[in-house]
Amino acid sequence: MKNIVVLGGGISGYGSAILAKKKGFGVFLSDSGRIADRYRARLEEWQVPYEEGGHTLERILAAAEVIKSPGIPETAPVVRAVREAGIPIISEIEFAGRYLDGARTICITGSNGKTTTTSLVYKILRDAGYNAALGGNIGESFAYSVATGRYDWYVLELSSFQLDGMYRFRADIAILTNITPDHLDRYGHCFQNYVDAKMRIVRNQHSRCAFIYSADDPVIAAELPKYDLRMRELPFAAKQAVASGAGDAFLCDGRFTAAVGCASVEVDTAKMRIGGLHNAYNAMAAALAALAAGVRPVQVRKSLYAFAPVEHRLEPVGEYGGVEWINDSKATNVDSVWYALESMKRPLVWIAGGTDKGNDYGPLKEFAREKVHTLVCMGFDNEKLLGEFTGVVPRIVSASSFGEAMEAARRAARPGDTVLLSPACASFDLFENYEQRGRMFRQWVKDRAADGAGAEPDAVRTVPERDRVRENDIGDGADAARRLPGDCTDAEMSVKNDA
């Protein structure tokens, strides 16, 4: 019997272990920290042996193959030991992809926009009656869905970390939203290494596959000539018209037409519930994917118009005293924040900061100078932000705690303003993850709105729960939850899901 070891007991790890068990492998899961109770319960239900609180190298090095959770970096001692022993290391995506039994995949990656695009694609397919599962970086574990269900389509959000361990896996429909600097600390501070990881999304595609990408992205444009692209290319753009024999999408004057083969759909972005240029890009990509998957154009348009904002991504959470509060906690890099600032129409109090990932804040300065009157720097070490934006915005406040930052923002905001939480940084200095940061922001606003703090009673408004799409509720049922605090441990926690 072939022995498989799974490193990491989070959502990726327990799903891989259960799939390996179901397929008849000898399996052992190892996590150097504590495994979350609900994941431990599933491992025990499936009688998967595991350890937590440390790695037993002798047992790990007896494996024929190791499945590594995406949050564990190559520099982790246990990974180095496995590499030195010559044992193959793969990802959950690579492993689960071996057992699709004819099901097809739509895989989405990119530096920004991948969560919204993934959610859009999934909604369109489900609304059209497709038997589809959501997985990867959101929703349920891909491997667990393969082990316990039978689906015709898998819609997968893939981070660069998940793509790193992909070798033979093939995306039937691949979407690359954009490529901008991110996670350079994970890639040896070499942007090209990160670019190469993202471009793995086209690996193994053939003529019956489709590759959807932004023709406006200069990095993607520079990379394409390096690859032997045999699939159908479906570009989308807003800056200049694109033309592809297989299909394309182009945004002009707030409308876009997406076409794949003989099928086409026209969409008025003003009728969508998600705004901004970045969401127009996301919608074009999703529309092309849905058409490539055979969804009727009328259904594509209907679903795009009905889609509600994704939790933690430009999510309006409430208003009091004439001040709008927007949760963009998922914006953990400069490019995400650029799109957020670009889409803002009212004077801004901008809350930023956290664990810097080697950011270059230069691209944000024009919008900051034009739109931001107060910058609240939230984190243990705000020196870089203070240095970058002194002289750019009229007022800067340094806050070392969440509560201090929120009170500073409240005091600075005036009726007609927007308070935007869009950090440009990871969350690990003050929070467990960006989800916790966003939830705390939302709850703080909800509590103040309920109290009527600083507002007349008729000025108090919060966004109803039903009008928000939660990333952990996109799948079917409570078990489709996104990973929670405790999913990743030791080395994993340093890079967990601010991807």
What CATH number is given to the structural domain containing 389? 3.90.190.20
pLDDT in tens, 413-467: 999 999 999 999 887 778 888 999 999 999 999 898 777 654 332 233 333 443 3
User: Which pLDDT score is estimated for 483?
Assistant: 30
Q: Would 377 be classed as within a structural domain?
A: yes
Query: Which residues are part of the catalytic machinery?
Result: 114, 137, 183
Task: Work out the pLDDT band at 172, boundaries 50, 70, 90.
Answer: very high
Share of the chain above pLDDT 70, in %: 90
- In this predicted structure, the answer to whether residue 184 has a pLDDT above a threshold of 80 is no
How big is the chain by its Cα radius of gyration, in Å?
Answer: 22
User: Which pLDDT score is estimated for 2?
Assistant: 93
Q: Would 488 be classed as within a structural domain?
A: no
Sheet holding 210-214, edge to edge: 132-136, 153-157, 104-109, 173-176, 210-214, 232-237, 247-252, 255-260, 263-268
125 and 56 fall within a common domain: no
283 and 384 fall within a common domain: no
| Interacting residues of 67 by C-beta distance below 8 A, sequence separation 6+ | 4, 5, 6, 7, 13, 16, 17, 20, 89, 90, 91, 92, 95
> What gap in Å lies between CA 453 and CA 444, rounded to an integer?
11
Residue 141 contacts residue 64 (beta carbons within 8 Å): no
301 and 366 fall within a common domain: no
Give me the CATH number covering residue 145.
3.40.1190.10
Task: Work out the pLDDT band at 327, boundaries 50, 70, 90.
Answer: very high
Alpha-carbon torsion 391, 392, 396, 399, what sign?
negative
115 and 77 fall within a common domain: no
Q: How many domains does the chain have?
A: 3
Q: Would 172 be classed as within a structural domain?
A: yes
The CA-CA-CA angle for residues 341, 347, 349, to 5°, reads 75
Q: Cα 259 from chain centroid?
A: 26
- What does the pLDDT average to over 123-134? 98
- Domain C-terminal end among 413, 431, 450: 450
326 and 415 fall within a common domain: yes
Q: Would 55 be classed as within a structural domain?
A: yes
Q: Is 253 left (phi over 0), alpha (psi -120 to 50) or beta?
A: left
Task: Work out the pLDDT band at 336, boundaries 50, 70, 90.
Answer: confident
Q: Which tokens in the block code for residue 459?
A: 């000025």
Q: How far is CA 455 from CA 10, 321, 404, 419, 444, in A?
A: 43, 4, 20, 15, 15
How high does pLDDT run on average in the chain?
Answer: 87
User: Which pLDDT score is estimated for 115?
Assistant: 85
Task: Work out the pLDDT band at 474, boundaries 50, 70, 90.
Answer: very low
pTM value is: 0.73
User: Which pLDDT score is estimated for 92?
Assistant: 96
User: Which pLDDT score is estimated for 465?
Assistant: 40
124 and 244 fall within a common domain: yes
User: Which pLDDT score is estimated for 452?
Assistant: 62
Q: Would 43 be classed as within a structural domain?
A: yes
291 and 345 fall within a common domain: no
pLDDT in tens, 43-62: 999 999 999 999 999 999 99
pLDDT in tens, 243-300: 788 999 999 999 999 999 999 999 999 999 988 898 999 999 999 999 999 999 999 9
- Per the model's pLDDT, the better-predicted residue between 474 and 463 turns out to be 463
- Domain C-terminal end among 414, 432, 450: 450
User: Which pLDDT score is estimated for 493?
Assistant: 35
Q: Would 418 be classed as within a structural domain?
A: yes
103 and 169 fall within a common domain: yes
Q: Would 466 be classed as within a structural domain?
A: no
- In this predicted structure, the answer to whether residue 5 has a pLDDT above a threshold of 70 is yes
- What does the pLDDT average to over 69-85? 92
30 and 82 fall within a common domain: yes
- In this predicted structure, the answer to whether residue 479 has a pLDDT above a threshold of 60 is no
220 and 351 fall within a common domain: no
- What does the pLDDT average to over 362-388? 91
Written in H, E and C, the secondary structure of the chain is CCEEEEECCCHHHHHHHHHHHHCCCEEEEEECCCCCHHHHHHHHHCCCCEEECCCCHHHHCCCCEEEECCCCCCCCHHHHHHHHCCCCEECHHHHHHHHCCCCEEEEEECCCCHHHHHHHHHHHHHHCCCCEEEEECCCECHHHHHHHCCCCEEEEECCHHHHHCCCCCCCCEEEECCCCCCCCCCCCCCHHHHHHHHHHHHCCCCCCCEEEEECCCHHHHHHHHHCCCCCEEEEEECCCCCCCCCEEEEEECCEEEEEECCEEEEEEHHHCCCCCHHHHHHHHHHHHHHHHCCCCHHHHHHHHHHCCCECCCCEEEEEECCEEEEECCCCCCHHHHHHHHHHCCCCEEEEECCECCCCCCHHHHHHHHHHEEEEEEECCCCHHHHHHHECCECEEEEECCHHHHHHHHHHHCCCCCEEEECCCCECCCCCCCHHHHHHHHHHHHHHHHHHCCCCCHHHCEECCHHHCECHHHCCCCHHHCCCCCCCCCHHHHCCCCCC
- What does the pLDDT average to over 178-197? 84
β-strand partners of 324: 319, 418
Sheet holding 3-7, edge to edge: 50-52, 26-31, 3-7, 65-68, 89-90
Give me the CATH number covering residue 39.
3.40.50.720
* Residue matched to tokens 């982790």: 76
303 and 321 fall within a common domain: no
Task: Work out the pLDDT band at 187, boundaries 50, 70, 90.
Answer: confident
User: Which pLDDT score is estimated for 453?
Assistant: 52
Look at residues 192, 170, 190, 166 and name the one whose alpha carbon lies nearest to residue 179. Answer: 192
Q: Would 149 be classed as within a structural domain?
A: yes
Could you list the residue range(s) of the whole structural domain that residue 356 is in?
Answer: 315-450
- In this predicted structure, the answer to whether residue 392 has a pLDDT above a threshold of 50 is yes
pLDDT in tens, 218-234: 999 999 999 989 999 99
Task: Work out the pLDDT band at 179, boundaries 50, 70, 90.
Answer: very high
pLDDT in tens, 134-145: 999 888 899 999
- Domain C-terminal end among 310, 338, 363: 310
246 and 211 fall within a common domain: yes
User: Which pLDDT score is estimated for 315?
Assistant: 87
